[in-house]
C-alpha cells in the first residue's frame, strides 16, 4: 500500500511539472524579451517552483484527511445510503438535506436567498468566480471575481468564523440565510499585494433568480430561408412547460414555419414537467 501511494503522489508531481512545462517555456521566452508575464487579473505570474507544487499537493492530501476525519453522522449516512441506492439502481442517489436544498435551488425553483455569487474551492480558499446579475454582491460594487473569502460573520456584531480550508458546502451554508439579514465577509481582494491584505464587506441577503437556466426563445430569420424559432431549455425546472408554452405563443404571432427545441445542455429535472412539455407538441397529450 505504501508503494502504491508513493507512485500515486509521484505521478501527481510529474503530471503537474509536465503541465507547467509549456507555460514555463512561454514565460522564459517572454522574460528574454523583457516582457512581464501576467495573469488574467493583471498580476505578475510567479516563476515556477517545484517546491511550491509539492507543498500544494501535500496540502491537498492534508485537507483530504481532515475532511474524512471531520465527517459527522449525516455525512456517513449520505455515503452509505448513496452506495445502497446505487447498488439497486445506478441512476438513483440519496440526497442529504443540504443536497436536496441545492438540487431544488438549481433544478426546480431556480432561485435562492443569499448574496448572488458563484463560489469555488481553490487551494484552501473560497474564491468568487462569478457574480449573479442583480444580486447583492454585484450591487455592492465591493466584490469581484477572484476575491477570496477567509471569514464569515452574521449580523452587525456576530463573531467572524474562519473558513480557510473549510468545505465549500459548509461555507455556502454560512453565507446563505433569510432575506433581509446581514452577512459580513472578510476577503482577500483579487488584486491584493499579499494574503495579509484583507477587508470586510457587508451585504444584505436577498432573493436571486437564476436566469441562466430559464427557457429562452429566439427567431432565426435569414433571407430566402424559412423562419425558425429556436427554444433553448437547459433543464426541466418547475413551470418550464408554461414558459415554453409562452414562447410558442410568441412564435405563432411572429409566424415562424418551424421550431427547434434545443436540449443539448439539458441535464434533466422534473419528470412531470417533461411530460407536460411533450404535450405542447402533440395534438392530444398532457
Of the two residues 176 and 225, the one the predictor is more confident about is 176
Would the pLDDT of 38 be above 60?
A: no
Query: 102 lies in a domain?
Result: no
pLDDT-derived band at 195 (thresholds 50, 70, 90) equals confident
Residue 24's pLDDT is what? 53
Q: Are 116 and 134 in contact (CB under 8 A)?
A: yes
Does residue 88 or residue 40 have the better pLDDT?
88
On the question of pLDDT at 121 being above 80, the answer is: yes
Is there a single domain that holds both residue 196 and residue 237?
no
Q: Please tell me the total number of residues recorded for the chain in this structure.
A: 286
pLDDT attached to residue 74: 81
pLDDT of 202 reads 95
**Which residue range(s) make up the domain with 195?**
111-209
What pLDDT shows up at residue 143? Answer: 94
> Which residues lie closer than 8 Å to 81 by C-beta, 6 or more apart?
94
> Is residue 240 domain-shared with residue 183, that is, in the same domain?
no
Position 194 in a domain: yes
User: For residue 42, what pLDDT is reported?
Assistant: 55
25 & 61 share domain: yes
Kindly state the cell numbers that stand for 286.
398532457
Please name the residues in contact with 241: beta carbons below 8 A apart, sequence gap of 6 or more.
273, 276, 277, 279, 280
Kindly state the average pLDDT of the residues 153-164. Answer: 92
Residue with cell 481553490: 122
- Beta strand residue intervals within 97-227, DSSP E: 111-114, 117-122, 125-131, 148-154, 161-162, 182-188, 199-204, 206-209, 216-220
Q: What φ, ψ does residue 133 adopt, rounded to 5°?
A: -55, 135
In tens, the pLDDT along 131-140 reads 988 899 999 9
Weakest mean pLDDT among 53-62, 113-122, 163-172, 192-201 = 53-62
Q: Please indicate, yes or no, if residue 256 is contained in any of the structural domains.
A: yes
Does one domain contain both 119 and 169? yes
* Domain-terminating residue out of 191, 209, 227: 209
DSSP state of 26: H
* Statement to judge: residues 119 and 187 lie in one domain: yes
Residue with more model confidence, 211 or 274: 274
Res. 20 pLDDT band, cuts 50 70 90 = low
Choice between 52 and 65, residue whose per-residue pLDDT is larger = 65
Same domain, yes or no: 127 and 196: yes
Residue 284 lies in a domain: no
Q: Is 205 found in the same domain as 239?
A: no
Same domain, 199 and 129: yes
pLDDT exceeds 80 at position 64? no
Residue 143 inside a domain? The answer is yes
What mean pLDDT is reported for the chain?
85
Q: Among 153, 179, 209, where does a domain finish?
A: 209
CATH code of residue 150: 2.30.42.10
Instruction: Output the pLDDT for position 218.
Output: 95
- Same domain assignment for residues 131 and 159: yes
Q: What is the pLDDT of residue 54?
A: 77
Q: Is position 286 within any domain?
A: no
Do residues 182 and 220 share a domain? no
In-domain check, residue 265: yes
Specify whether 165 is located in the same domain as 222. Answer: no
Report, as an integer, the average pLDDT of 23-27: 52
Query: Last residue of some domain: 209, 231, 264?
Result: 209
| Mean pLDDT of all residues in 48-61 | 74
Q: 245 and 200: one domain?
A: no
Q: Is residue 10 part of a domain?
A: yes
Q: Convert the pLDDT of each residue in 219-249 to its tens digit.
A: 998 888 889 999 999 999 999 999 999 999 9
Give the least confident one: 35-49, 83-97, 98-112.
35-49
Give residue 19's pLDDT: 59
Number of domains the chain contains: 3
Q: Quick one: pLDDT at residue 26?
A: 52
Asked if pLDDT for residue 205 goes beyond 90, the answer is: yes
**Most confident of the ranges 90-94, 228-232, 282-286:** 228-232
Amino acid at each position: 500500500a505504501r508503494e502504491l501511494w508513493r507512485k500515486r503522489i509521484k505521478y501527481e508531481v510529474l503530471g503537474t511539472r509536465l503541465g507547467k512545462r509549456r507555460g514555463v517555456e512561454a514565460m522564459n521566452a517572454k522574460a528574454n524579451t523583457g516582457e512581464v508575464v501576467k495573469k488574467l487579473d493583471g498580476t505578475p505570474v510567479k516563476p515556477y517552483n517545484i517546491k511550491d507544487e509539492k507543498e500544494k499537493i501535500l496540502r491537498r492530501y492534508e485537507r483530504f484527511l481532515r475532511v474524512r476525519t471531520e465527517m459527522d453522522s449525516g455525512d456517513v449516512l449520505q455515503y452509505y445510503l448513496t452506495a445502497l441506492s446505487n447498488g439497486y439502481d445506478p441512476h438513483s442517489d440519496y440526497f442529504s438535506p443540504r443536497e436536496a436544498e441545492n438540487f431544488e435551488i438549481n433544478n426546480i425553483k431556480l432561485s435562492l436567498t443569499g448574496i448572488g455569487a458563484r463560489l469555488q474551492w481553490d487551494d484552501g480558499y473560497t474564491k468568487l468566480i462569478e457574480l449573479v446579475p442583480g444580486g447583492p454582491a454585484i450591487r455592492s460594487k465591493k466584490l469581484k471575481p477572484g476575491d477570496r473569502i477567509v471569514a464569515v460573520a452574521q449580523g452587525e456584531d456576530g463573531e467572524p468564523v474562519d473558513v480557510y480550508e473549510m468545505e465549500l458546502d459548509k461555507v455556502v451554508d454560512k453565507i446563505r440565510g433569510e432575506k433581509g439579514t446581514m452577512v459580513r465577509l472578510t476577503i482577500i481582494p483579487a488584486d491584493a499585494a499579499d494574503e495579509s491584505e484583507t477587508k470586510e464587506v457587508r451585504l444584505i441577503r436577498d432573493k436571486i433568480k437564476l436566469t441562466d437556466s430559464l427557457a429562452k426563445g429566439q427567431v432565426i430569420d435569414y433571407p430566402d430561408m424559412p423562419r425558425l424559432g429556436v427554444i433553448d431549455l437547459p433543464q426541466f425546472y418547475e413551470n418550464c412547460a408554461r414558459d415554453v408554452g409562452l414562447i410558442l405563443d410568441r412564435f405563432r404571432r411572429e409566424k415562424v414555419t418551424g421550431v427547434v427545441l434545443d436540449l443539448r445542455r439539458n441535464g434533466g429535472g422534473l419528470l412531470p414537467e417533461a411530460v407536460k412539455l411533450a404535450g405542447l407538441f402533440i395534438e392530444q397529450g398532457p
